[in-house]
């Protein structure tokens, strides 16, 4: 298991999908200035799954929003697919903590909302929606309304919506945080399978160390505010991961313990 203090793995792939360079973000009000992020640099390879963990308030969500072009940095820059991010990015998918489904639309209609907003070809969008519904185990619930679905199923719908336009990059901000423990485990397994089948580049923000290690190829650990990258761990686990076997493996337990110790040493727990 290898670790590094920088965001670049030892054997970097030639294609970098997300390139974060010396990023800082400061919020100002009449009362005070708050630095959320300070000098953050990270490269994410094409098709890679990177998990980000850190204390509450360390700027993890802010980092995702800057990558998505939803807010500007104070200093530094982000390049996405080789182009500087200066505005909201249409190429990406974004999954939030809340599913945010329209209560009057069924599963399939909620997924296709993405197509309507983007002006996608209707036939192509319908075929893609049907594929994602099958991929996420929602077959038979196409017309079900959100209130008729469990929390986990609602998050699957939101994930399908985020993936409908086949984005090369998927940003996920604590998408399973509100789920019960068992449902969250199921969603972790589903997410790992979907990532392997789609090849999408994924950056996940989570407070769960176990989730970060199980899903990630690398785990980025951030410091308390102002958020900096403390360490980046390469995850030495099989590409295809059985949940039970992975969680009980010595490699998983060692890495999770090391990350927990690092976060504990900072005096703040996420």
- Tens of pLDDT along 152-198? 899 999 999 999 999 999 999 998 887 888 888 988 998 998 899 88
**Would residue 38 count as lying in a domain?**
yes
**Would residue 3 count as lying in a domain?**
no
Number of domains in the chain: 2
Instruction: Check residue 14 and give its pLDDT.
Output: 52
User: Do 157 and 205 reside in the same domain of the chain?
Assistant: no
| pLDDT class of 229 with cuts at 50, 70, 90 | very high
CA–CA dist 1, 140 (Å, integer): 43
User: Do 239 and 161 reside in the same domain of the chain?
Assistant: no
User: Do 182 and 147 reside in the same domain of the chain?
Assistant: no
User: Do 35 and 117 reside in the same domain of the chain?
Assistant: no
CATH number at residue 74: 3.40.50.300
Question: Last residue of a domain, which of 134, 166, 198?
Answer: 166
Instruction: Check residue 266 and give its pLDDT.
Output: 58
For the chain, state the CA radius of gyration.
18
| pLDDT class of 265 with cuts at 50, 70, 90 | low
User: Do 75 and 121 reside in the same domain of the chain?
Assistant: no
Percent of residues, the chain, with pLDDT higher than 90:
69
- Structural domain range at position 158: 98-166
Q: List b or e across 152-164, with b for residues whose CB sees 16 or more CB atoms inside 10 angstroms.
A: bbbbbbbbbbbbb
Instruction: Check residue 183 and give its pLDDT.
Output: 84
Question: Last residue of a domain, which of 113, 133, 166?
Answer: 166
Instruction: Check residue 179 and give its pLDDT.
Output: 83
**Would residue 2 count as lying in a domain?**
no
Instruction: Check residue 25 and give its pLDDT.
Output: 94
User: Do 75 and 114 reside in the same domain of the chain?
Assistant: no
User: Do 236 and 261 reside in the same domain of the chain?
Assistant: yes
CA–CA dist 6, 24 (Å, integer): 16
Among 56-60, 199-203, 257-261, the range scoring the smallest mean pLDDT is 56-60
For the stretch 95-104, pLDDT in tens is 988 888 999 9
**Would residue 9 count as lying in a domain?**
no
Tokens 């296709």 identify what position? 112
User: Do 53 and 119 reside in the same domain of the chain?
Assistant: no
């Amino acid at each position: 298991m290898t670790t590094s203090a920088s965001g670049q793995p030892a054997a970097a792939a030639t294609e970098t999908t997300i390139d974060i360079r010396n990023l800082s973000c400061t919020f100002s009000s009449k009362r005070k200035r708050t630095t959320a992020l300070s000098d953050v640099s990270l490269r994410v390879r094409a098709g890679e799954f990177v998990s980000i963990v850190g204390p509450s308030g360390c700027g993890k969500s802010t980092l995702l929003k800057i990558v998505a072009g939803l807010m500007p940095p104070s200093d530094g820059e982000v390049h996405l697919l080789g182009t500087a991010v200066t505005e909201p990015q249409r190429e990406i998918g974004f999954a939030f903590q809340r599913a945010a489904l329209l209560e009057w639309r069924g599963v399939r209609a909620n997924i296709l909302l993405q197509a309507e907003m983007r002006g996608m070809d209707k036939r192509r969008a319908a075929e893609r929606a049907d594929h994602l519904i099958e991929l996420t185990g929602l077959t038979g619930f196409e017309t079900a309304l959100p209130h008729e679905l469990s929390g986990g199923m609602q998050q699957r719908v939101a994930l399908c919506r985020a993936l409908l336009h086949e984005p090369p990059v998927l940003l996920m901000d604590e998408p399973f945080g509100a789920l019960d423990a068992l449902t969250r485990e199921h969603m972790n397994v589903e997410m790992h399978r979907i990532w392997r089948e789609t090849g999408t580049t994924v950056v996940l923000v989570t407070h769960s160390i176990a989730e970060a290690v199980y899903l990630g190829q690398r785990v980025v650990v951030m410091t308390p505010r102002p958020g900096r990258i403390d360490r980046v761990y390469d995850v030495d686990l099989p590409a295809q991961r059985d949940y039970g076997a992975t969680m009980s493996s010595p490699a998983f337990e060692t890495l999770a313990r090391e990350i927990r110790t690092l976060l504990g040493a900072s005096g703040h727990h996420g």
